[in-house]
Amino acid sequence: MAPHDIELRRGRYAKLDAPAEDDYATPTRRSFDSNDSSLEDLEEFDPLNYDAGTLKQKRSTGDLRARRASFKKAEFVSEKAQQRRKCTPSRLCGGLVLLFVAATVLLLSAGGIWAWKSAPENGLSPPWYPTPKGGTDAAWGESYKKAAALVKQMTLVEKVNITTGTGWSMQMCVGNTGPVPRLKFPALCLQDGPLGIRFADNITAFPAGITVGATWNKELMYQRGRAHGLEARLKGIHVLLGPAMGPLGRLPAGGRNFEGFGTDPVLQGVAAAQTIKGIQSEGVMATAKHYILNEQEHFRQAWEWGTPNAISSNIDDRTLHEIYAWPFAESVRAGVASIMCSYNQVNNSYACQNSKLMNGLLKDELGFQGFVQSDWLAQRSGVASALAGLDMTMPGDGLKWANGNSLWGPQLTRAVLNGSVPMERVDDMVTRIVAAWYQVGQDRWRLQPPFGKGGPTFSSWTDEEIGLLHPGSDDKTTGVVNKFINVQGEGDDFHGNLVRRIAAEGTVLVKNENNFLPLNRNGWKEHEKAGKEMNYRVGVFGEDARLNREGLNVCPDQSCNEGTLASGWGSGAVDFPYLIEPVSALRAAFNNESVYVTDWLENKLPKEKEILEDQDVCIVFANADAGEGYLSFEKIRGDRNDLFLQKNGDKLIQEVATGCGRGNGSVVVVIHTVGPVILEKWIDHPSIKAVVIANLPGQESGNSLVDILFGDINPSGRLPYTIAKKEEDYGPDSKVKYLPNPLDGLVPQQNFSDGLYIDYRYLDKHDITPRYEFGYGLSYTTFHLSSLLITAKGPKTPFPAPRPSGLEPPSYSTEIPDPKTALVPEGFRKLSKYIYPYLDSIDDIKKPEVQTSQLQSPLSPAGGAQGGNPDLYTTMITVSASVTNIGVVDGDCVVQLYIAFPKNYKDDESGETVDFPVRVLRGFEKLHVEAVQDGPIQGVKGSEHGGGGNKKMVTFDVTRKDLSYWDTKRQNWVMPTSGDFGIFVGLSSRNLPLEGRW
């Protein structure tokens, strides 16, 4: 499939996208905020709005060691990057040449067939200029007015200070911007991440995104966002670096899929939007990341994997719209304040300087009003990224970590003064950031020192109370950096309760033969008891049932798979405040007068098999871990190497299944995993009665598992991905690219030639039977669906209404300021490696004579408001159905709506057939439906209600966008008006009892 079907304007694009000379000049450093945080102010700090939980609790774990280790890693990366900094694709030099000569010789001698391409292809991604200005959407109108009033008063250096991070580990958070003390605009604190607050104490380790996706519960998605946002606010964090919705999960082994919500754009989009609304309801800016197509860890970043450039994800325009950009569109529609552009390239242009993606898709078509920040070191050019729509560079460092050489900072100042970047663009960057700050109400937060006592209440860099204020610099000033504020909530609002609920609802029961589960706390169930004199004997097996014996937080960013798995690793992991061990929770749940529990908490079973043979029931645990690519564990460099259980998990399960009760025992398998795992080696074993996929539960692991196994909560988790029978069943394009192909030249290439056909869309198309399909999961009760009703709200029409015109964005003087205003003021104290906006000298700056105006790319007919043309979200049909609980216990039912586009549909104008997936998810609702009467299943609570109420109605609003495809020629969403849509309502992507047409 060819990249974008849009006409390319090669020459102009190539020029804009090429790093400008300026980007590589050595910047100068000077102090901007010489009178920043005084020791006294920090010490007197007392937390805003929060008295209840201000317990002063010090962390007792060995986290610091871990922190340091991960920091070291960053430094190591930088060293490498530095040596090779100037060796950009366009100028091969010294070591690099040698490297490639060596590689060439090696390849030749190995007899490989290869071709050599000396430079990455340019111009494969269409240009889109200039950057659309923020301030066009009425929902942000007030915030933009206020922002404009403030920005009007700022000088150029003050503006630049807001756009540029101060450098890795220069202040308390993983990202920190420069303040404008004169106008009391604060330094913003940006902190990871999607499942809790990284590098912080007394916080909550929530279930990972994938577990949240598996709940299919919109309310819980919102509540988790809200609790997370509250924790961030109380720690003084302005911008939370989550939720993650890219990677979407195209590659089942992708290392960071666990941070997102599942391999479907609608599930991912709903969960992302709910999370964002939750976070921002607490006054904290959310970040939708990673924009976009960062589907694998290998080669995600230049130099991190030895290649001079990051991988290029090559995609066609339709797939981009219908799959990967969809959750971002939903995020923008939810009003997200920030979006993080990703490390990788897209169609051979870095995501953080890709004008089609940022200017075109995000800011024009999707009407994004907030600001785009770069992933950490994902910015690869100065001028080009500014013109392509980047608004903030993180962490401020440029091509390498923590050396003080920013691509912006002083370079952006210079670029404005010499006319490379229009004043308008910088004004828009700053206005977007300041407007986002107003939009969530942070102007009401307490002022930062020296005016007040606001600011972060924790340090990312130490666990001690007193620590360096600028650890990345040579400055030795210390102060109180950790306040140890407990932000975990209290009483009914204790966030652990929410964690437990989410993890239970995110646990998917995939096998339950003869209703083996739920277990009975007293052991034998009534009907099994006959003739059983002995105690009920339970054996618990596997290292995943216990804690890591070395401690909870001993590995940097959780980058090891030791003990029970409750989180993946990387920046999307946190220090566990505590972790409920599965085996202990199980022991506590069983009545120890009638149940005898033994355990073997290793994956290698002992030689003597009594422990296995003397059991009635064996509960065996196994797992599969993955994470972010800057850390690796046992040859897993971020992405998994296969889809099997790790640490001999399959073998353990097989042995337990064979040996348990001398072959007469019943086996329950519990799996903690970052994503799909292949279960075929044992799934049909006759002893294996039940299997639960518990995903990544977070800190309440054992408790949530017990809730499900004993039926305190009726399982309602559904798979947010397909579990195939073998890895090949996901399709030939579903493999991580683990090695660069010499044919790719300097940029590893990853073609998304699977197009729309990922996960269930691929298996459906090729009629491959999965082991467990997307959307699948069992309950302890049975639901019956009936009474499908499809109501049209109007006739089918092919196009959305014309794009509405928005508000006028704020305007400022476009005049280039006097360069003298950019000089470092006298007497400022400068910190080494700290990034400031000032210039040391302005001698080489020539004011441009005339500013050339740029051509305007055509505005998208699909744009016009946040999330796109508002008419795309007009309801075209409503679909309703009834759900009856025909079982004997209450339960939650996830009702899913899938749509099939008209068969053999041909485009009216061109007569070309448009290809569609068999079915696509377009909506879901989780309903609590009571049973008719109390049930005889023992151990299941919650069916006290009796009589009536066992039937509920569910309604879905189906929008124009839901019923449209992206037409690359018209550059618009088009709804087929001939032929019928198939409308399916059911309990999974392959269990769809109700079918209608429209």
* Token pair recorded at residue 775: 């959307």
**The token pair that represents 114 in the structure block:** 């290869």
Q: Is the backbone peptide bond immediately before 130 cis, with ω within 30 degrees of 0?
A: yes
Q: Distance (Å, rounded) from C-alpha 672 to C-alpha 207?
A: 12
What is the C-alpha to C-alpha distance for residues 860 and 280, in angstroms, rounded to an integer? 28
The residue (of 174 and 876) whose beta carbon lies closer to ligand BGC is 174
- 193 contributes a contact to ligand BGC by CB under 6 A: yes
The region of 11-19, 72-80, 408-416, 497-505 touching ligand BGC under the rule CB under 6 A is 72-80
* Residue among 9, 12, 65, 73 that touches ligand BGC (CB under 6 A): 73
Structure tokens at 713: 């909560």
Residue 291 or 541 having the CB closest to ligand BGC: 291
Q: Please, what is the minimum distance in Å from the beta carbon of residue 340 to ligand BGC?
A: 7
- Residue 592 burial by Cβ neighbours in a 10 Å radius (0-12, 13-18, 19+): exposed
- Minimum distance, C-beta of residue 391 to ligand BGC, in the bound complex (Å): 16
Nearer to ligand BGC, 67 or 672 (CB): 67
Q: How far is CA 55 from CA 50, 51, 62, 260, in A?
A: 11, 9, 20, 32
| Beta strands, E only, 542-616 | 595-600
**3-state secondary structure string across 735-753:** CCCCCCCHHHCCCCEEECC
* Residue 26: closest CA among 833, 848, 820: 833
Q: Choose the binding region for ligand BGC from 73-81, 541-549, 731-739, 742-750 (rule: CB under 6 A).
A: 73-81
Does 625 qualify as catalytic in the annotation? no
3-state secondary structure 16-51: HHCCCHHHHCCCCCCCCCCCCCCHHHHHCCCCCCCC
Tell the smallest beta-carbon distance from residue 392 to ligand BGC (Å): 13
Candidates 66-74, 114-122, 201-209, 559-567; binding stretch for ligand BGC (CB under 6 A): 66-74
Distances (CA, A) of 951 to 712, 791, 933, 948, 992: 22, 21, 13, 8, 18
Residue 492, both tokens: 């009914």
Task: Show the binding pattern over residues 566-605: x = contacts ligand BGC (CB under 6 A), - = does not.
Answer: -----x----------------------------------
Q: Which helix (H) or strand (E) holds 430?
A: helix 423-439
Helices 218-234, 265-281: inter-axial angle, 10-degree rounding: 40
CB 393 to ligand BGC: min, Å: 13
Task: For residue 942, give the DSSP letter.
Answer: -
**Site mask for ligand BGC (CB under 6 A), range 217-256, x = bound:** ------------------------x---------------
- Among residues 192, 428, 892, 930, which is the contact residue for ligand BGC, using CB under 6 A? 192
Query: Near ligand BGC by CB under 6 A, which window of 69-77, 355-363, 699-707, 822-830?
Result: 69-77
Candidate list 41, 137, 264, 375, residue with the active-site label: 375
Nearest distance from C-beta of residue 244 to ligand BGC, angstroms: 7
Closer CB to ligand BGC, 342 or 896, in the complex: 342
d(CA 867, CA 327): 10
Position 188 contacts ligand BGC (CB under 6 A): no
Q: What does the buried/exposed string (b/e) look like for 37-76 if buried means 16 or more CB atoms within 10 Å of the residue's CB? A: beeebbeebebbeeeebbeeeebebebeebbeebbebbee
- Residue 297 near ligand BGC by CB under 6 A: no
Smallest distance, ligand BGC to C-beta of residue 207, A: 18
Interface region with ligand BGC, contact rule CB under 6 A, candidates 71-79, 133-141, 325-333, 768-776: 71-79
- 753 close to 1: Cβ distance less than 8 angstroms: yes
Residue from 42, 66, 74, 188 in contact with ligand BGC (CB under 6 A): 74
Nearest one of 400, 436, 390 to 151, comparing CA atoms = 436
* Interface with ligand BGC (CB under 6 A), residue from 45, 630, 710, 898: 630
286 touches 228 (CB < 8 A): no
Q: Total residues at the site for ligand BGC (CB under 6 A)?
A: 13
Span of 67-75, 111-119, 352-360, 683-691 interacting with ligand BGC by CB under 6 A: 67-75
Compute how many other C-beta atoms are within 10 angstroms of the C-beta atom of residue 644. 17
Complex with ligand BGC: residue 177 or 571, whichever CB lies closer: 571
Q: Which of 84, 224, 228, 289 binds ligand BGC (CB under 6 A)?
A: 289
Q: How far apart are CA 487 and CA 495, in angstroms?
A: 9
Long-range interactions of 39-42: CB distance < 8 A, separation 24+: 39/477, 39/478, 39/479, 39/480, 41/449, 41/450, 41/453, 42/449, 42/455, 42/469, 42/479, 42/480, 42/481
As measured in angstroms, the least distance from the Cβ of 376 to ligand BGC is 4
Q: Is 765 in the site for ligand BGC (CB under 6 A)?
A: no
Q: Is 445 one of the binding residues for ligand BGC (CB under 6 A)?
A: no
Beta bridge partners of 921: 898
CB 386 → ligand BGC: shortest distance, Å? Answer: 21
The nearest distance, CB 195 to ligand BGC, in angstroms, is 11
d(CA 20, CA 854): 17
Q: Which lies closer to ligand BGC via its Cβ, residue 418 or residue 567?
A: 567
408 makes contact with ligand BGC (CB under 6 A): no
Least CB distance from residue 79 to ligand BGC, whole Å? Answer: 13
Return the number of the residue (241 or 657) whose C-beta is nearest ligand BGC: 241
Site string for ligand BGC, 144-183 (x = CB under 6 A): ------------------------------x---------
Give the nearer residue to ligand BGC in terms of CB position, either 74 or 124. 74
CB of 196 to ligand BGC, least distance (A): 13
Nearer to ligand BGC, 632 or 880 (CB): 632
Using CB under 6 A as the binding rule, whether residue 286 contacts ligand BGC is answered as no
Least distance in angstroms from the C-beta of 75 to ligand BGC = 8
Q: Compute the radius of gyration of the chain from its Cα atoms.
A: 28
State yes or no: residue 463 binds ligand BGC (CB under 6 A): no
DSSP tally for the chain: helices H, then strands E: 22, 27
Length of the chain: 998
Separation CA 879–CA 237 (nearest Å): 42
Alpha-carbon gap, residue 896 to 267, rounded angstroms = 10
Give 174 or 636: the residue with its C-beta nearer to ligand BGC. 174
Binding to ligand BGC by residue 399, rule CB under 6 A? Answer: no
Give the residue with the Cβ less far from ligand BGC, 375 or 712.
375
Closest CA to 160 of 823, 836, 828, 812: 836
Query: Which burial class, exposed, middle or buried, applies to 614 when counting CB atoms under 10 A from its CB (0-12, 13-18, 19+)?
Result: middle
Task: Specify the residue, 70 or 448, whose C-beta has the smaller distance to ligand BGC.
Answer: 70
How far apart are CB 685 and ligand BGC at their closest, in Å? 39
Centre a 10 Å sphere on the Cβ of residue 100 and count the other Cβ atoms it contains.
Answer: 17
AA identity, residue 57 = Q
Q: Applying CB under 6 A, which part among 68-76, 414-422, 520-528, 974-982 lies near ligand BGC?
A: 68-76
Nearer to ligand BGC by Cβ, of 210 and 881: the residue is: 210
| Binding residues for ligand BGC (CB under 6 A) | 70, 73-74, 77, 174, 192-193, 241, 289, 375-376, 571, 630
Residues with catalytic roles: 375
